[in-house]
Chain A
Amino acid sequence: MKGISHFITGIAVGTFFPDAVQAAAAGSFVLVLGGIGGLLPDTLDFKFARFLEEPDIVIDPHPEQFEAQKIADEIAAGIERVAARKKKLILKCSTMRLGTDWWQQYSLRFDTDKNQVIVKLGPIVNTSQLPLPQSEREDPEGRAQVRVPLMPTYSEFTTVDIFGGPSFALEWRNDRVEIDFLPWHRQFSHSFLMAVLFGVLCGVLFGTTAGWIGGLAVLAHVLEDQLGYLGSNLFAPFTKVRTTGMKLIHAQDAIPNFFTVGTMAMVILFNLDRFSPQPMIDPLFYWGVLWLPLPLLLAYYSYRKGSAEGKQFVPLLAQQEAELVAETQEVVNA
């Protein structure tokens, strides 16, 4: 889900504690811990973990030797090296900065049907991702055949242009190479243990209620992420694999996020009123009438999603990687 959905969920969790709400009304900032906990897992990943990862294969094209075929060959060779060694390798595609505001764009795609790596050279773009006119390259496409079988994965092009490029974990699994997008994401930071650790930290620093709020806010983030196609490594560091999500939503879609933000805003308001000296909200009208548009919107979304999936089958792994790509895009565009 989007950052703001996790963030407001964390705050909403905190408002279920009457003593926290009453302390907040008296000047305390304890409920802010809920928001911090709600966004903490993604903060740890996108602000720390991604930079601590050590890549084994670095695609770092030079502007003067910028050939699509060469990049595709390098990636294909890396995948074959994984099959030969039966060892997990991290592939990193670096961005290419040409000036203060200019970047060379390229994109890559893993065609698992034809067992090919496809690389396309894009135009020069500015930091707003606007192309510089007439900056497209000749021979913009390169294809490299991979001589080992690939597991189905995200089948659209992944664009590399501004700020940081993507990384992939290449791993030998069930006699095929699995291409796992953003291997550093949704690991330990998105585990039950992280919720406990943050809860204990808040508890030690600010008291028992603060501890519960902090821990439950992290837990809420972890659980919300299970609603999509890719879950997380719930039992890290004891396990290594990210779970499959419940496949109820695409985590970056507008309606589920709006539903979450709207519902949580209503929960917060309801709880602030409920624990005030003179409550004034009628629960029946509030939840039975005012809230009703939100679940109806979600039901419409589920219907549309179900219809779309009925028409076109997309492999689970591809859906999971798409979720990660969309999440990264949110961070780049933020």
Chain B
Amino acid sequence: MEYLYLVPYAVVGTLLASTLALVPAMHVYNIAGIFIWLAVSAQKFIGGDALAMLLLGMIVGYAMLNTVSAIFLGAPDDSTVFIVLPGQKYLLMSRGFEAVVLTGIGGLGGILILIVLSPIAAGLFGALRTILFPHLHWILAVIIVYMLMAEWPKGGDRGATRGARLWDAWKGLGAGILTFILSGILGLVLMYKSPIPLEYSFQNLLPAFVGLFAVPWVLENLASSTEIPKQYIPTTIDAPPSMIARGIFSGALGGLFAAFFPVVTGGIGGYLAGHATAQRDDRVFIISQGASKFLYYVGAFWLFFLPTAGITKGGMAGMLATIYAPQGAGLYYTAVALIALCGVLSFFLLLGYARVAVWLVQRVNYRYISLVTLFILCGVVFWFTGVGGIAIMLIATPIGVLPVVWGSRRMNCLGVILVPITLNLAGLGPTVAQWLGIV
């Protein structure tokens, strides 16, 4: 009962994040950073535990609800970028609501996984951390190599000569590699010479993510004059229990991997787990991405509360760790219980918000929605990061457009975080930055 007073904080956090999650590009970390900054400035106007649970509620709400803007507005971030393609496919089949609910089911499965793992998590993740910690650099390199090698040609059928066919096949692959290299260089620039003011350094990646992921998608929607058909709101979901279980299992593997490993996002984790479990169905994929995304965000924060393990992974935990350290098993299990409570609350909010989104896309021309989304994206970037952020966004956008134009994978834009962190873990970051003339 001693932790009961924390419940309202978590619920308020969820309600707050549920609104923020609907604003394209408004990442929960942007707001959390401001909360923490305020907490420090105002001499801790709320206690450490209460602040932690407020942030916990926020991240749970955000992790469950951010698919609404990704699917209906086509404005993804680094972890929802994988959901947009099947999500918009569903949207064009009048099943946008169903896609959102499938991600929510994945999120609920994620909660179940966290509850099941909670008694053994400290020992399991503590041991994994000890074994893998010296090897993180090459494991990240392995992920990069797999991402690049497992992109297969999408052309090459035409051409009178072998050379012509190879060119046709390789122009898309080449664009993918170029995207990865350019976004990697952008990441190094942001790490070593960011134009973003120091007091907003926790927003450092926001303009890059918006430019790389959200703006290109919105521009594509604007250019292609997408027309959204009348949406159908079903009373049941076309996914048998075995399919849901497979999706959650696969998403759990990916999400926990992403929650534990630095830099690996929920999208990458879900992508790798999808390959590992040989998914073939869109529904399984969407559920797994929902679970993976939820476990990536929430799981990383959950690890922060693990007694004795001392794992700080993810932006939220990283920011909170600067001013607060959780104590004891009681608080840990309270966090688990609040994840469950806020997760279920978020799921019901998701159902409501998805209906609002359906109403919106049916009544307002999708071009106008995309246009307004674009203005919001620019506004959020300017609000949080100023002119420097807008400049980064403008540089990142053409890099993010490359995969759209050449038909390569958008995932290659993740070079923006994978390259600098991998190089730094191997101790090569400063050397490469020097070669590039950044430092």
A2, B89: Cβ atoms closer than 8 Å: no
Q: Give the top 3 A-B pairs by smallest Cβ distance, nearest first.
A: A254-B278, A25-B134, A4-B275
> What secondary structure prevails in chain A residues at the interface with B?
helix
Judge if B199 is at the interface, Cβ distance under 8 Å.
no
Judge if A52 is at the interface, Cβ distance under 8 Å.
yes
Judge if B236 is at the interface, Cβ distance under 8 Å.
no
Judge if B46 is at the interface, Cβ distance under 8 Å.
no
Q: Among residues 90 to 114 in chain A, which have CB atoms less than 8 Å away from a CB atom of chain B?
A: 94-95
- Give the CA-CA distance A276 to B162 in the complex, in Å: 49
Assuming the contacts A164-B157, A257-B278, asked whether A46 and B138 have C-beta atoms less than 8 A apart, the reply is: no
Residue of A nearest to B152 (CB): A331
Judge if B436 is at the interface, Cβ distance under 8 Å.
no
A43, B141: Cβ atoms closer than 8 Å: no
B142, A31: Cβ atoms closer than 8 Å: yes
- Give the CA-CA distance A252 to B275 in the complex, in Å: 11
Judge if B427 is at the interface, Cβ distance under 8 Å.
yes
A29, B134: Cβ atoms closer than 8 Å: no
A36, B145: Cβ atoms closer than 8 Å: yes
- Give the CA-CA distance A32 to B128 in the complex, in Å: 20
Residue of A nearest to B134 (CB): A25
B278, A258: Cβ atoms closer than 8 Å: yes
Given contacts A47-B169, A253-B278, 13 further A-B contacts (CB under 8 A): A3-B150, A4-B275, A7-B146, A39-B146, A47-B153, A48-B166, A52-B166, A130-B93, A163-B153, A252-B278, A258-B277, A272-B135, A280-B127
B146, A51: Cβ atoms closer than 8 Å: no
B278, A43: Cβ atoms closer than 8 Å: no
Contact with A along B296-321 (1 / 0, CB 8 A): 00000000000000000000000000
Cβ-defined partner of B149 (8 Å) among A39, A162, A272: A39
Residue of B nearest to A21 (CB): B135
Judge if B156 is at the interface, Cβ distance under 8 Å.
yes
Assuming the contacts A7-B146, A51-B169, A130-B89, asked whether A261 and B276 have C-beta atoms less than 8 A apart, the reply is: yes
Judge if B84 is at the interface, Cβ distance under 8 Å.
no
Assuming the contacts A4-B272, A258-B277, asked whether A51 and B156 have C-beta atoms less than 8 A apart, the reply is: yes
Judge if B132 is at the interface, Cβ distance under 8 Å.
yes
Q: Among residues 47 to 61 in chain A, which have CB atoms less than 8 Å away from a CB atom of chain B?
A: 47-48, 50-52, 54
B145, A130: Cβ atoms closer than 8 Å: no
Judge if A11 is at the interface, Cβ distance under 8 Å.
yes
A334, B151: Cβ atoms closer than 8 Å: yes
Contact with B along A229-273 (1 / 0, CB 8 A): 000000000000000000000001110011001100000010011
B166, A334: Cβ atoms closer than 8 Å: no
B169, A29: Cβ atoms closer than 8 Å: no
Residue of A nearest to B276 (CB): A261
Judge if B4 is at the interface, Cβ distance under 8 Å.
no
- Give the CA-CA distance A127 to B404 in the complex, in Å: 13
Judge if B137 is at the interface, Cβ distance under 8 Å.
yes
Cβ-defined partner of A280 (8 Å) among B130, B156, B159: B130
Judge if B154 is at the interface, Cβ distance under 8 Å.
yes
Q: A residues within 8 A CB of B219? A: none
Contact with B along A156-174 (1 / 0, CB 8 A): 0000001111000000000
Say how far A246's CB is from chain B's closest CB, in angstroms: 20
Say how far B248's CB is from chain A's closest CB, in angstroms: 15
Cβ-defined partner of A258 (8 Å) among B127, B141, B155, B276: B276
Residue of B nearest to A333 (CB): B280
B162, A54: Cβ atoms closer than 8 Å: yes
Name 12 A/B residue pairs within 8 A (Cβ), A-sorted.
A4-B275, A4-B276, A25-B134, A26-B134, A32-B138, A39-B146, A51-B165, A95-B157, A163-B155, A164-B156, A254-B278, A258-B276
Assuming the contacts A94-B158, A273-B131, A280-B131, asked whether A28 and B93 have C-beta atoms less than 8 A apart, the reply is: no
A272, B131: Cβ atoms closer than 8 Å: yes
- Give the CA-CA distance A307 to B88 in the complex, in Å: 40
Q: A residues within 8 A CB of B85? A: 128
Q: A residues within 8 A CB of B166? A: 48, 51-52
Residue of B nearest to A130 (CB): B89
The tally of residues in B whose CB lies under 8 Å from a CB in A reads 44
Question: Which of B156, B159, B275 has the most chain A CB atoms inside 10 A of its CB?
Answer: B275
Judge if B92 is at the interface, Cβ distance under 8 Å.
yes
Q: A residues within 8 A CB of B372? A: none
Q: Among residues 330 to 370 in chain B, which have CB atoms less than 8 Å away from a CB atom of chain A?
A: none
A334, B141: Cβ atoms closer than 8 Å: no
Q: Among residues 144 to 188 in chain B, which have CB atoms less than 8 Å away from a CB atom of chain A?
A: 145-146, 149-159, 162, 165-166, 168-170, 173
- Give the CA-CA distance A254 to B281 in the complex, in Å: 12
B162, A51: Cβ atoms closer than 8 Å: yes
Residue of A nearest to B159 (CB): A51
Say how far A309's CB is from chain B's closest CB, in angstroms: 20
Say how far B184's CB is from chain A's closest CB, in angstroms: 15
A164, B276: Cβ atoms closer than 8 Å: no
Judge if A228 is at the interface, Cβ distance under 8 Å.
no
Q: B residues within 8 A CB of A30? A: 138
Assuming the contacts A4-B272, A47-B173, asked whether A31 and B138 have C-beta atoms less than 8 A apart, the reply is: yes
Judge if A35 is at the interface, Cβ distance under 8 Å.
yes
Q: A residues within 8 A CB of B135? A: 24-25, 272
Q: A residues within 8 A CB of B142? A: 11, 31-32, 35
- Give the CA-CA distance A30 to B145 in the complex, in Å: 13
Judge if B239 is at the interface, Cβ distance under 8 Å.
no
Question: Which of B151, B156, B159 has the most chain A CB atoms inside 10 A of its CB?
Answer: B156
- Give the CA-CA distance A43 to B153 in the complex, in Å: 10
Q: A residues within 8 A CB of B173? A: 47
Judge if B325 is at the interface, Cβ distance under 8 Å.
no
Judge if A27 is at the interface, Cβ distance under 8 Å.
yes
B426, A27: Cβ atoms closer than 8 Å: yes
Q: B residues within 8 A CB of A50? A: 156
Say how far A221's CB is from chain B's closest CB, in angstroms: 12
Residue of A nearest to B162 (CB): A52
- Give the CA-CA distance A3 to B271 in the complex, in Å: 13
A3, B275: Cβ atoms closer than 8 Å: yes
Assuming the contacts A51-B169, A272-B135, asked whether A2 and B278 have C-beta atoms less than 8 A apart, the reply is: yes
Say how far B408's CB is from chain A's closest CB, in angstroms: 12
Q: B residues within 8 A CB of A128? A: 85, 89
Residue of B nearest to A260 (CB): B276
Assuming the contacts A3-B275, A4-B276, A165-B157, asked whether A27 and B427 have C-beta atoms less than 8 A apart, the reply is: yes
Q: A residues within 8 A CB of B146? A: 4, 7, 35, 39
Q: B residues within 8 A CB of A4? A: 146, 150, 272, 275-276
Q: A residues within 8 A CB of B134? A: 24-26, 276
- Give the CA-CA distance A5 to B276 in the complex, in Å: 7
Q: B residues within 8 A CB of A127? A: 407
Residue of B nearest to A255 (CB): B278
A35, B156: Cβ atoms closer than 8 Å: no
A46, B153: Cβ atoms closer than 8 Å: yes
Q: A residues within 8 A CB of B168? A: 51
- Give the CA-CA distance A217 to B134 in the complex, in Å: 23
Contact with B along A1-18 (1 / 0, CB 8 A): 011110100010000000
Say how far A90's CB is from chain B's closest CB, in angstroms: 13
A29, B278: Cβ atoms closer than 8 Å: no
